[in-house]
C-alpha cells in the first residue's frame, strides 16, 4: 500500500470519528461531548514526546547494555496517555450520569473518540517505519 492510499484511508477514518462526535453534539443540541475531541487529540502526545526525547539521548556514557530498557520518562508518558484515554471514555459517562447528555450522545461520542485516537495511533505507526524494500541491493 503506497503512502497516498494510506493517507486517504486514514483521513476518511478520522473524518468519520469527528463526524460521530459532532453528530452527538448537534443531534441532541448539547455541545459538552466536544471535550472528547480535545482529550483524544492530546492523548498520544506524551508518548510522541517521550519517544523523540529518548531517540535523541546519547547513551555513550550511561553504561547501559540493554538498549530496550524502559526509562522512567517512558513509563510516566505511558501512564499519562492511559489516563487521558480513560478520561476520554469516562467524561461522556460522567456527563450521562449527571444527565447532561443522552444515551445516543454518550455512545456516539465514545465511539467517535476512540476512532479518532485509533486513527492517530495507526497514522504514527504507518509512517514511523521507513519502507526499505531493496535495502540489501542499495537501490
> Domain ranges in the chain?
3-54+71-128
Q: How confident is the model at residue 23 (pLDDT cuts 50, 70, 90)?
A: very high
pLDDT surpassing 70 at residue 122: yes
**SS3 state at 21:** helix
Q: When comparing pLDDT for 30 and 67, which is higher?
A: 30
Backbone angles phi, psi at 134, to 5 degrees: -110, 45
- Mean per-residue pLDDT for 103-132? 87
Q: What is the pLDDT of residue 117?
A: 94
In the chain, % helix, strand, coil (3-state, to 5) comes to 75, 0, 25
pLDDT above 70 coverage of the chain, percent: 83
Confidence of residue 130 (pLDDT cuts 50, 70, 90): low
Per-residue model confidence as pLDDT tens digits over 37-87: 999 999 999 998 988 887 776 655 555 555 667 788 889 999 999 999 999
Residue 13 has pLDDT above 60, yes or no: yes
Tell me the pTM.
0.81
CA nearest neighbour of 117 among 46, 55, 37, 60: 37
What pLDDT is recorded for position 81?
A: 95
Residue that has been written with the C-alpha cell 454518550 in this structure: 106
H-helix or E-strand containing 125?
Answer: helix 103-128
CB 112 within 8 A of CB 17: yes
Amino acid at each position: 500500500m503506497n503512502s497516498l492510499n494510506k493517507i486517504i484511508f486514514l483521513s476518511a477514518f478520522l473524518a468519520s470519528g469527528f463526524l460521530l462526535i459532532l453528530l452527538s453534539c448537534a443531534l441532541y443540541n448539547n455541545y459538552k461531548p466536544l471535550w472528547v475531541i480535545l482529550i483524544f487529540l492530546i492523548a498520544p502526545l506524551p508518548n510522541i514526546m517521550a519517544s523523540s526525547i529518548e531517540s535523541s539521548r546519547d547513551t555513550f556514557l550511561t553504561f547501559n547494555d540493554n538498549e530496550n530498557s524502559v526509562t522512567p520518562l517512558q513509563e510516566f508518558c505511558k501512564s499519562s496517555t492511559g489516563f487521558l484515554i480513560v478520561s476520554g471514555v469516562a467524561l461522556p459517562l460522567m456527563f450521562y450520569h449527571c444527565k447532561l447528555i443522552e444515551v445516543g450522545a454518550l455512545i456516539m461520542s465514545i465511539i467517535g473518540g476512540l476512532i479518532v485516537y485509533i486513527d492517530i495511533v495507526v497514522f504514527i505507526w504507518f509512517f514511523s517505519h521507513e519502507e526499505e524494500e531493496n535495502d540489501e541491493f542499495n537501490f
